[in-house]
Amino acid sequence: MIRFISGVVALSVLTALPLSSSAHPGDTPPVIKIAPGMTFADAKEPHVAVGSGGQVYVAFGMGNIVYCAVSPDGGKTYNVPVLVARVQNLSLGMRRGPRVAVAGRSVVISAISGVEGAGKDGDLLAWRSPDQGKSWSGPVRVNDVRDAAREGLHAMTAAVDGTIACTWLDLRNKGTQLYASVSRDRGATWGKNVRVYASPDGTICECCHPSLAFDGKGNLHVMWRNALGGARDMYLAESRDGGKSFGTAQKLGRGTWVLNACPMDGGAFSISPTGTVTTFWQRNGEIFSCQPGSEEKSLGVGRQGWVASTADGPYFVWSGERTGAIGSAPGHTEQWKLARNAVNPVVAAPLTGNGPVVAVWTSRDGLEGTVLTHGETYPGDKAKTP
């Protein structure tokens, strides 16, 4: 069961903003300083994952350094961020940045870097920690054609059984295509690259990040923004053989967005413990959510959306127009302000569905976040796999 904490704190002024009229000030969780601005003022592009035992892992970049901050207590406090790697020309900005996934006690962080940078070269690299983020080894190159990941946009996810998968915008052929690779040993090695999709019009959307997630049956789902017939709409494809091949791409939503440009906004999707797929994306400055095959529902003005699902439903975060980070939770009709002066909000829930739902963002004060719900974590959910 998930227990929702009805309210959050506005980041800059620390003023309680209740989620609904029934909220009580005592229910409001504090904003957590993950990486204080004095030391990590230039922290960018956080990504968050929650382990089955309630541990929270936040990967982020600063300059050409990849860091990981770990919370051992469900997002209430964070240890000093650990340096994962120094790289050349780290891809960072506009959802380019590190990604983190949890596989038992192992944690994997991925990022793209190149010797020259600026889109001239770039490989997707992965680092692995066997001890819950204390020490790191690597990197291992994921793309099997050198510099094919030079666009700098990718995603990573984990399955309950510890399988890890990456997808990225790939430039090994003419035009931008979507490729994926799977690791079955918790990020130590990566399998043959598989093409997820190639647009018949010659390219998918060139500057929007993709997303991917496993369902409870081990099927891998991938979402991206297409460029087809002059439209920049969102599409979803599924692999039912563990990432070896992908089925027919399915357009999301009933509307369309004809645009001769790249929105630089790929949205996100999540899959609940019961298998419900919830997608969340922008069209012409408006933020929408839908399940595959269903009509989209508008959540208002926004961009750069992210979503995490629990048994109770999806939690959404996104950037509002001049209002910082916005959020929405299952069972509540009102939206709320997570933070002012905040960018790049992300949210994550445990794969098991039990445990904290954590949102993270960057602001002028550094890297921060909050726990949207503490949930329940049972002894049987504790990470046992090395």
**Which residues contact residue 333 at a Cβ distance below 8 angstroms, ignoring those fewer than 6 apart?**
20
What is the reported pLDDT for 5?
Answer: 35
State which amino acid sits at residue 274.
T
What is the reported pLDDT for 63?
Answer: 97
What is the reported pLDDT for 187?
Answer: 96
State which amino acid sits at residue 32.
I
Model pTM score? 0.90
- Cα–Cα–Cα angle for 341, 347, 350, rounded to 5 degrees: 155
What is the reported pLDDT for 291?
Answer: 97
**Which residues contact residue 58 at a Cβ distance below 8 angstroms, ignoring those fewer than 6 apart?**
34, 35, 46, 47, 48, 68, 69, 70, 71, 78, 81, 100, 360, 367, 369
- Report the candidate in 311, 165, 145 with the shortest Cα–Cα distance to residue 238: 165
- The larger pLDDT score, comparing residue 119 to residue 352, is at 119
As a whole number, mean pLDDT of residues 281-308 equals: 96
Q: What is the mean pLDDT of the chain?
A: 88
What is the reported pLDDT for 326?
Answer: 86
Other Cβ atoms within 10 Å of 333 Cβ, number: 7
| Rounded Cα distance, 168 and 134, in Å | 27
As a whole number, mean pLDDT of residues 1-9 equals: 33
State which amino acid sits at residue 240.
R
As a whole number, mean pLDDT of residues 184-194 equals: 97
What is the reported pLDDT for 305?
Answer: 97
What is the reported pLDDT for 376?
Answer: 56
CA distances from 225 to 20, 170, 249, 262 (A): 34, 14, 11, 9
What is the reported pLDDT for 327?
Answer: 86
Report whether CATH 2.60.40.1180 matches the domain 8-373: no
What is the reported pLDDT for 297?
Answer: 96
pLDDT at 189 over 90: yes
- The larger pLDDT score, comparing residue 141 to residue 342, is at 141
Q: What are the pLDDT digits (tens) for 67-76? A: 999 999 999 9
Q: What are the pLDDT digits (tens) for 298-326? A: 999 999 999 999 999 999 999 987 668 88
Residue 240's pLDDT band, with cuts at 50, 70 and 90, is very high
Residue 371's pLDDT band, with cuts at 50, 70 and 90, is very high
**Which residues contact residue 65 at a Cβ distance below 8 angstroms, ignoring those fewer than 6 apart?**
83, 84, 85, 86, 87, 90
Q: Where are the domains of the chain?
A: 8-373
What is the reported pLDDT for 339?
Answer: 83
What is the reported pLDDT for 29?
Answer: 54
**Which residues contact residue 378 at a Cβ distance below 8 angstroms, ignoring those fewer than 6 apart?**
354
Where is 313: in which H helix or E strand? strand 313-319
- Asked if 34 and 69 touch (Cβ cutoff 8 Å), the reply is yes
User: Dihedral angle at the C-alpha atoms of 159, 265, 139, 190, nearest 10 degrees?
Assistant: 40
**Which residues contact residue 21 at a Cβ distance below 8 angstroms, ignoring those fewer than 6 apart?**
none
